[in-house]
Amino acid sequence: MPLTSEQLAFDQQHIWHPYSSMINPPPMVPVESASGVRIRLSDGRELIDGMASWWSVIHGYNHPSLNAAAHAQIDRVAHVMFGGLTHEPAIELSRKLVQMTPAGLDRVFLADSGSVAVEVAMKMAIQYWHARGKPGKHKLVALQNGYHGDTFGAMSVCDPVTGMHELFSGVLAQQVHIPRPATRFGQPLIDGDCDALEQTLREHGDEIAALIVEPIVQGAGGMYFYSPEWLKQARILCDRYEVLLIADEIATGFGRSGKLFACEHAGISPDILCLGKALTGGYMTLSATLTTAHIGETISAGGAGCFMHGPTFMGNPLACAVANASLTLLQEQDWQAEVSRIETRLTASLSPAASLSGVADVRVLGAIGVIELHEAVSLASVQPLFVEQGIWVRPFGKLVYVMPPYVMSNADLDTLCSGIIQVLNALEG
């Protein structure tokens, strides 16, 4: 049944969508269902989905084994509190995460969303130093152009310009922001590229709890791919100046960058790891923050005697059961071959964009393709053009990018990319 005009009007008048206006809301595209890589609209049209619903739907929509896991679990128990109670879905999920993540991360905190996973990571780092008798170490170092979520703690470590710091100044915690690595992925490390980090840690180490980074791929803050060598050095510097390293792999986790976790490009383990987005294959919200036994035990030996966090829906069985099915699927498939196939295909089919005069850069890493423009595009004018091409792409600012489900065929990848290029071409007139 297509949505009625009354329903759509209600949506416009009463419902906030992400970063949307209540005065002049843009038209919304009504969805009927979705399957594989296709989103079916209520008027019957189908769109090839280039966004994987913001990095999360890695196996495609309406997947039989994820559906089966959800059905089986909902008939047992959809939710039960995690305080004092436990269950198989949470245990088996945590076991998988401990086993598949970089070495040493074997204490698991399950939370509700990516932003909360970041809050949890920040609190872990601060509580750790508190427990070690260094309560002055409570600031974070973060990279410019970073994105870590929309809650207050997470916002404080987002890029100070695009991350709404001005709007919330006086409310946000004051953190230390340093330039992002200048060395791009695949380039030899530029001389002095780690100097800002080293100087900050050397001079302010006694007030810094942790460095937080999106390893290798900065997502929503700029779709920027940087050098694994920089990350390797950052790990060394954090150890040297006694600062924890938090890796926010909420976007990059589970194969997106070509490695299961982006930290693997640098061969490092962080002290704290944040996961989310693709964790449930995009079925529902769930996140995890992992840390080491040492940090877990130090926090627990501190004054509080425990880690001070415990959300209502912690360890939600339904979400954990679907996450288990998603990770099983990932491990049973040759996901690396699929991601590398997509990387090859995106590289070839996006390359013609480089010759457009409005295009500043085209780059691909793993199953992420980015076209960076000279000028920001108007979402309101460009969104309908993509829909007309039968593709779902949602640019922000100067960035038109795709991160398709890993199951997207080469033919669909070609349609997606040529659709984008046609739209950009049309914009140039």
Ligand X SMILES: *Cc1c(COP(=O)(O)O)cnc(C)c1O
Active site residues: 19, 147, 248, 277
Cα Rg, the chain, nearest whole Å: 22
Strand partners, 41: 31
In single-letter form, the type of residue at position 159 comes to: D
Q: Would you say 224 is a known binding-site residue?
A: no
CB of 104 to ligand X, least distance (A): 21
Among 220, 272, 346, 408, interactor with ligand X by CB under 6 A: 220
Minimum Å distance from CB 221 to ligand X? 8
Annotated binding residue 311:
yes
Could you say whether residue 126 binds ligand X (CB under 6 A)?
Answer: no
Could you tell me the two tokens for 194?
Answer: 């780690």
Rank residues 181 and 219 by Cβ distance to ligand X and give the closer one.
219
Place of tokens 């070609």: 414
Q: Which two tokens stand for residue 227?
A: 């050098």
Q: Are 365 and 225 in contact (CB under 8 A)?
A: yes
- For residue 75, say whether it is annotated as part of any ligand binding site: no
Tokens of 300: 């627990």
289 is in an annotated binding site: no
Shortest Cβ distance from residue 182 to ligand X (Å)?
20
Nearer to ligand X, 60 or 215 (CB): 215
Residues 104 and 122: their CA atoms lie apart, in Å, by 19
Would you say 322 and 93 are in contact if contact means Cβ atoms under 8 Å apart? no
Instruction: Kindly state whether residue 124 participates in binding ligand X, applying the rule CB under 6 A.
Output: no
Asked if 257 interacts with ligand X (CB under 6 A), we say: no
Which CA distances in Å does 405 have to 2, 15, 154, 196, 409? Answer: 26, 28, 27, 37, 10
Residue 211 sits in the site that holds ligand X (CB under 6 A): no
Q: Tell which one of 153, 215, 270, 276 touches ligand X (CB under 6 A).
A: 276
> Least separation, in Å, of the C-beta of 264 and ligand X?
17
Among 37, 120, 231, 250, binds ligand X (CB under 6 A): 250
The 79-118 site mask, x for binding ligand X (CB under 6 A), equals ----------------------------------xxx--x
What's the DSSP call for residue 164?
T
Tokens of 2: 């297509």
Q: Does residue 256 touch ligand X according to CB under 6 A? A: no
**Minimum CB separation from ligand X for residue 52, in Å?**
12
Q: Which of 408, 424, 405, 426 is nearest to 350 (CA)?
A: 424
Q: Is 221 annotated as a binding residue?
A: no
Alpha helices in 228-306 (DSSP H): 228-240, 293-301
Q: Is residue 149 involved in binding ligand X (CB under 6 A)?
A: yes
- Shortest Cβ distance from residue 49 to ligand X (Å)? 17
Would you say 16 is a known binding-site residue?
no
Asked whether position 58 contacts ligand X by CB under 6 A, the answer is: no
CB contact at 8 A, 29 and 8:
no
Q: Does 119 bind ligand X (CB under 6 A)?
A: no
Residue at shortest CB range from ligand X:
114
- The two tokens of residue 66 are 């994820």
401 touching ligand X, by CB under 6 A: no
Q: Edge-to-edge strand order for the sheet containing 368-373?
A: 359-365, 368-373, 399-402
Residue 255's region, left for phi above 0, alpha for psi from -120 to 50, else beta, is left
Q: Using CB under 6 A as the criterion, which residues of the chain lie in contact with ligand X when the complex forms?
A: 113-115, 118, 147-149, 214, 219-220, 248, 250-251, 276-277
Binding site residues for pyridoxal 5'-phosphate, as ranges? 114-115, 248, 311-312
